[in-house]
Every structure is written in structure tokens, then in C-alpha cells.
């Protein structure tokens, strides 16, 4: 019986290692595409100035709504060809503040409308869809509440739509509070990877990319042709992106066009954002993977990368299972010595960390500093990033499992803070979730569990797994402490 237990543990561990390795290989191929493949060129006509509707979906945004509106009305574009829709689902005192600001701006001659829904049906997707019903624009630019596009943002994007096959132009996010804390630095590092290696890498080799929910502009015809916004997933942006690209609409990704935005600074805000992104990603896997596989006019390479893309959030489930199995693995390998070489395989596969570090360092050099003397800064960020992302695997796995089992949940939007400097205070933000959830208690248990793993490694003399378990202890304790203190 004990031998059977050991074989099961080792087999499951090996399967998770192979799954993660397959995902890593797909990321490495994107890395090669990003750095060595020639960028796609798209036709751009600066004289092409069609009618544009800017949509601003907001929900209880009292801290940022004024900056948002005053920034948007300063966008440089012919006023007779520009309409602004404020899609306001707010239920608190920010509703009156927004209405007052809009009345003030409308009095100056700006075409700005306040669209308020009493029922938040289908959340952001529902608001966008309702606004689209009355939008006058041939093109729809979308900005979340904390995004402050530059004045010439529209002038740098609409010209690509001279090509009738272009359905979306997506800009890169820039983080105004990147250096606010170690947590914001870590988030920025992860997003830099997404907005360079993943988005640009896929776009360069004609594979599917995704609209990122904000800082992008859609052709209205593309939205309607793809079936319009749907609220059956928490990431309506990824959903519509896939339905549009299956319909052969092309996407343009502009890595050099930055759109300033704010990163969440509280662990509770990071949790809600991560949960929504990862659950929505898994919901899209369930919804859109069959469509991708059945599409007859997609080549095999595009399908493989699309599968890897849709599996992004599911990787957290594999990682969590891998970490969980690694503790009994120490014991199982002793029971079945002939299988103990699996520890060596696992250790060799952890060289993926080196590859991951290389990829992240190259994006660090591009977006933060290319000076050699700043390498210690990068190492410090990465040494925090790695245990944090590993330890969020439990939280994100629960999101993925909810999606797999069809459990529906509300669209919990990420609180905005409007941080003007690194000294800004934010803990009094009324939108923060102050409750200590069950997940935090489970994560505390996991920290103890992996501490036991360190003890077991020492006792069984499996020193190859000891650093890995030590990293997990540090990571879980860090996110538990931050969750309590925030």
C-alpha cells in the first residue's frame, strides 16, 4: 500500500512538471519571436479622422473620477467627431459627483453623456453593450477609471483603421506608481512581461492577442460582427478578442504607445484583481477553446499558441499542485528509491527559474534601466516576485476551479487610490475589503505545511527540495502578513 502511495505521488508530480514545462516552452517561443522576429508593419494614415466614441466604464470611483474626466476632455481630436460616454454603474455618493462634473463639462460645449444603470446587469460587459446601443462613433475607445491617456492618444491610433481588416488597436499600459512599494514593482514586472514578450511576441507572429479591457480602441463593426459584449465571463475583453479573431479580424498592438495607469497597492486589491483575471481566463478556456479547435481556417501554430494563451490562468492550478505534492514527494522518494531520480528531474526543471529570470531581466532593461549597476535592484525585485507569485497559486487556483465547475460570482472591481506621490496615504480608502477571508487562514496553514516540508527535507536528506520549500514558506507568510496589515 505504501509503495502504491509513493508511485501515485511521484506520477502526479511528474505530470505537473511536464505540463509546466510545456507552458514554459510556449513562453520561450514567444521570447524568441519578440527578440528575433521582424515586427509586423501596419498601414497608418494620419489624415484619417473618423467619428470616435470614448467609453468610460466606472463603478464607485470617487477618488479618481474627476482626474479621469478632466484628462479625457483634453484629448486632442476634432470636437465635431468626438463623443464621450460615461458608463456609470455607481451606487454611492460618487454618482452625484460625476453628474455634477459632467454638467460642468457639458456646459463648455463638450459632447459628453452620463449613462447610469440602476441594475448592474453583466457588470462591465453590460455597461459597454448598453453604451454601444447609442454610440455615434464608428470607433470605440475604452479607458478604465485610473487610465489617463496622453492628449495625442487618438491621433496615434485611429490612423491604423484605414485598413478595413483592423478590428482593434491596443496600447501598452504604463504604471504611474511603479515605484510606490515592492508590491507595485513586482506587479509592474509581471505586466511588463505580458505587454512585451506575450502581446508583442504573439502579434509579431500573427497569433491571437487580447484586448486588455482598457487603453484600446475597437471598430464598432468588429464588436457587432463578433457577437457584441457578453457577460458570461469575468474577462469580457479576452472573450470578445477571441470571438473577433476567429472571425478573422486583425489586431494591432502598439508597444511604444504608453497609457498611464495605476497599480493596486493593497494586497486585498491585488487579490480581487488576480481572482477576476484568472477566473475569467479559465472561463474563456471553457467557452472559447472548442471554437479555436474547430476553426478550419486557423493553422496549427496559431491554434497551439491560442491553447497556451487560454491556459495561462490554469498554470496556477498546476503550480499549486506541484508545490503541494513536493512535500510528500520527499517521503515517497525514500519509500521508492528507484524513483528517487524524479527529484533530480524536478531540480533540473527548476532551471526554468533561470530562464524566467533572464526573460524578466530583459524586460527590466527595456522598461526600467539598462545600466549594469542596477542589476542588484532587479535581483531584489525578482527575489520578491518569485515567492509571491508561487504563493498566490492557491488563491488563483481557487479562481480557476470555480470557472471549471461553472460557479458564477460578481465582477469585483479593483479599488483605485489616486496616488499622487510615494508618500500618499491609502489605507482609509472606503472601497478596500478589510475582511480576513478563509483563503488567508488556509495560506497560513500552507506556510506551516511547507515549513514542515523543510523539516522533512532535512530529515530525509533531500536537500534539493529544501530551498524550494523555504521560498514557499517566505512567500505564504509574506502574503498573509500583507493581507492582515492592509
**229 and 372 in a common domain:** no
Cα–Cα–Cα angle for 201, 203, 207, rounded to 5 degrees: 95
**29 and 80 in a common domain:** no
Domain end point (choices 249, 269, 289): 269
Please, which residues have CB within 8 angstroms of residue 263's CB and are 6 or more apart in sequence?
175, 177, 178, 180, 184, 187, 188, 191
- Chain segment 256-293, per-residue pLDDT in tens: 999 999 999 999 999 999 999 999 999 999 999 999 99
Examine residue 275 and state whether it is found in any structural domain, yes or no: no
Examine residue 454 and state whether it is found in any structural domain, yes or no: yes
Look up the CATH number of the domain holding residue 187: 3.90.550.10
**163 and 105 in a common domain:** yes
**45 and 18 in a common domain:** no
The residue whose grid cell reads 484586448 is: 211
Total number of domains in the chain: 2
Active site residues: 89, 237
**393 and 461 in a common domain:** yes
Examine residue 378 and state whether it is found in any structural domain, yes or no: yes
Please, which residues have CB within 8 angstroms of residue 215's CB and are 6 or more apart in sequence?
142, 143, 144, 147, 149, 170, 171, 172, 173, 259, 261
- Chain segment 199-240, per-residue pLDDT in tens: 999 999 999 999 999 999 999 999 999 999 999 999 999 999
User: Considering the entire predicted model, what is its pTM?
Assistant: 0.94
Burial class for 422, CB neighbours closer than 10 Å (0-12, 13-18, 19+): exposed
Q: How far is CA 226 from the centre of its chain?
A: 22
- Domain range for 470 is 2-33+313-419+426-485
**452 and 326 in a common domain:** yes
**335 and 237 in a common domain:** no
Q: How far apart are CA 431 and CA 14, in angstroms?
A: 43
Examine residue 277 and state whether it is found in any structural domain, yes or no: no
Average pLDDT taken over every residue of the chain: 91
pLDDT at 106 over 90: yes
**230 and 83 in a common domain:** yes
Q: How far apart are CA 390 and CA 367, in angstroms?
A: 24
Percentage of the chain exceeding pLDDT 70: 95
**211 and 157 in a common domain:** yes
Please, which residues have CB within 8 angstroms of residue 117's CB and are 6 or more apart in sequence?
87, 88, 89, 126, 127, 130
Examine residue 280 and state whether it is found in any structural domain, yes or no: no
**450 and 411 in a common domain:** yes
Percentage of the chain exceeding pLDDT 90: 67
**169 and 84 in a common domain:** yes
Examine residue 294 and state whether it is found in any structural domain, yes or no: no
Domain end point (choices 239, 269, 299): 269
**18 and 70 in a common domain:** no
Examine residue 407 and state whether it is found in any structural domain, yes or no: yes
Q: In what order do the strands lie in the sheet with 82-88?
A: 112-116, 82-88, 52-58, 139-142, 216-219, 166-175, 250-261
Residue 339's pLDDT is what? 57
Considering only CA atoms, which of 344, 308, 55 is closest in space to residue 198?
308
Among 18-22, 236-240, 310-314, 474-478, the range scoring the smallest mean pLDDT is 18-22
* Cell numbers for 261: 495607469
Positive or negative: CA dihedral 70, 72, 75, 80: negative
Considering only CA atoms, which of 182, 173, 65, 154 is closest in space to residue 114?
65
pLDDT at 371 over 90: no
Residue 348's pLDDT is what? 53
Residue 346's pLDDT is what? 55
Examine residue 149 and state whether it is found in any structural domain, yes or no: yes
Neighbours of 287 (CB within 10 A): 18
* Cell numbers for 49: 479622422
Domain end point (choices 269, 302, 325): 269
Amino acid at each position: 500500500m505504501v509503495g502504491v502511495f509513493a508511485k501515485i505521488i511521484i506520477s502526479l508530480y511528474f505530470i505537473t512538471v511536464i505540463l509546466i514545462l510545456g507552458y514554459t516552452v510556449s513562453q520561450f517561443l514567444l521570447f524568441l519571436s519578440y527578440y528575433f522576429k521582424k515586427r509586423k508593419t501596419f498601414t497608418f494614415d494620419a489624415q484619417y479622422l473618423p467619428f470616435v466614441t470614448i467609453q468610460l466604464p466606472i463603478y464607485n470611483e470617487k477618488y479618481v473620477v474627476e482626474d479621469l474626466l478632466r484628462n479625457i476632455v483634453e484629448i486632442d481630436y476634432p470636437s465635431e467627431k468626438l463623443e464621450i460616454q460615461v458608463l456609470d454603474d455607481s451606487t454611492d455618493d460618487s454618482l452625484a459627483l460625476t453628474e455634477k462634473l459632467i454638467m460642468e463639462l457639458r456646459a463648455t460645449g463638450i459632447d459628453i453623456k452620463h449613462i447610469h444603470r440602476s441594475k448592474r446587469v453583466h457588470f462591465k460587459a453590460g455597461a459597454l453593450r448598453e453604451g454601444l446601443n447609442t454610440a455615434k462613433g464608428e470607433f470605440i475607445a475604452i479607458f478604465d477609471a485610473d487610465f489617463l491617456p496622453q492628449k495625442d492618444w487618438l491621433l496615434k491610433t485611429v490612423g491604423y483603421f484605414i485598413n478595413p481588416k483592423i478590428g482593434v488597436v491596443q496600447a501598452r499600459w504604463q504604471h504611474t506608481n511603479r515605484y510606490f512599494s515592492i508590491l507595485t514593482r513586482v506587479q509592474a514586472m509581471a505586466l511588463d512581461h505580458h505587454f512585451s514578450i506575450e502581446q508583442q511576441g504573439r502579434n509579431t507572429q500573427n497569433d491571437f492577442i487580447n484586448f486588455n479591457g482598457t487603453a484600446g480602441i475597437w471598430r464598432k463593426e468588429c464588436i457587432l460582427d463578433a457577437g457584441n459584449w457578453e457577460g458570461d465571463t469575468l474577462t469580457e475583453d479576452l472573450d470578445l478578442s477571441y470571438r473577433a479573431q476567429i472571425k478573422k479580424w486583425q489586431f494591432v498592438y502598439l508597444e511604444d504607445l504608453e497609457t498611464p495607469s495605476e497599480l493596486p497597492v493593497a494586497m486585498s486589491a491585488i487579490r480581487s484583481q488576480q481572482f477576476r483575471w484568472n477566473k475569467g481566463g479559465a472561463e474563456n478556456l471553457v467557452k472559447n477553446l472548442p471554437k479555436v479547435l474547430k476553426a478550419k481556417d486557423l493553422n496549427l501554430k496559431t491554434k497551439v499558441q491560442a491553447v497556451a494563451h487560454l491556459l495561462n490562468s490554469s498554470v496556477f492550478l498546476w503550480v499549486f499542485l506541484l508545490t503541494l505534492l513536493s512535500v510528500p514527494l520527499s517521503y515517497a522518494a525514500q519509500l521508492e528509491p528507484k524513483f528517487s531520480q524524479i527529484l533530480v528531474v524536478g531540480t533540473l526543471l527548476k532551471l526554468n527559474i533561470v530562464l524566467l529570470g533572464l526573460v524578466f531581466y530583459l524586460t527590466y532593461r527595456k522598461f526600467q534601466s539598462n545600466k549594469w549597476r542596477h542589476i542588484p535592484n532587479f535581483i531584489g525585485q525578482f527575489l520578491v516576485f518569485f515567492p509571491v507569485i508561487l504563493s498566490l497559486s492557491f488563491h488563483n487556483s481557487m479562481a480557476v476551479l470555480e470557472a471549471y465547475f461553472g460557479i458564477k460570482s460578481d465582477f469585483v472591481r479593483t479599488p483605485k487610490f489616486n496616488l499622487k506621490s510615494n508618500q500618499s496615504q491609502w489605507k482609509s480608502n472606503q472601497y478596500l475589503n478589510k475582511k480576513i477571508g478563509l483563503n488567508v487562514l488556509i495560506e497560513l496553514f500552507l506556510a506551516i505545511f511547507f515549513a514542515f516540508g523543510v523539516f522533512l527535507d532535512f530529515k530525509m536528506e533531500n536537500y534539493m527540495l529544501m530551498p524550494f520549500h523555504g521560498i514557499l514558506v517566505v512567500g505564504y507568510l509574506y502574503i498573509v502578513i500583507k493581507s492582515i496589515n492592509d
